[in-house]
Amino acid sequence: MASSDPRATLLELRDTLTEQLATLTARPEPGSGIGFGKRVGDSTSIAVERITDVAKQETLLTKLNETERALAKLDDGTYGSCDVCSERIGAERLDFRPYATRCVRHAV
């Protein structure tokens, strides 16, 4: 996702993440409610699917928050510096992960 314009890259990423979250959290269509299936495993499958969706949502929200933080750092002139140690974040890391706000040493 290398780009000469990190702001454009981050704005595009923010839009994509927002769309993915909207899709994931959209209310089901009327009449498509979940019922208990005829087979024993149906309820288990639904539960696993819901747990997976929650995990996806948490991942997307984390990435969206990191993207918003990176945009704020662009605004205040600190983009590319680590939030923890203030050292420069490597260009390769920013090319791969333009929303990175921590250097590799302090990545969570």
DSSP conformation letters of the chain:
---S-HHHHHHHHHHHHHHHHHHHHPPPPTT------SSTHHHHHHHHHHHHHHHHHHHHHHHHHHHHHHHHHHHHT-TTB-TTT-PBPPHHHHHH-TT--S-GGG--
- pLDDT for the residue numbered 29: 66
Q: What are phi and psi of 80, to 5 degrees?
A: 95, 0
Q: Decide: 95 and 1 in contact? Cβ < 8 Å.
A: yes
With a cut of 70, say whether residue 26 has pLDDT above it. yes
User: Any idea which residue has 């981050």 for tokens?
Assistant: 10
Segment 35-50 shows an average pLDDT of 67
With a cut of 60, say whether residue 3 has pLDDT above it. no
- pLDDT for the residue numbered 39: 64
Segment 60-67 shows an average pLDDT of 97
- pLDDT for the residue numbered 49: 78
Q: How many CB atoms lie within 10 A of CB 23?
A: 9
Segment 82-99 shows an average pLDDT of 96
Domains and CATH numbers, the chain: 6-21+47-106 (1.20.120.910)
Q: pTM of the full predicted structure?
A: 0.77
Q: From CA 13, how far away is CA 7, in angstroms rounded?
A: 10
Segment 83-94 shows an average pLDDT of 96
Segment 36-60 shows an average pLDDT of 76
- pLDDT for the residue numbered 74: 97
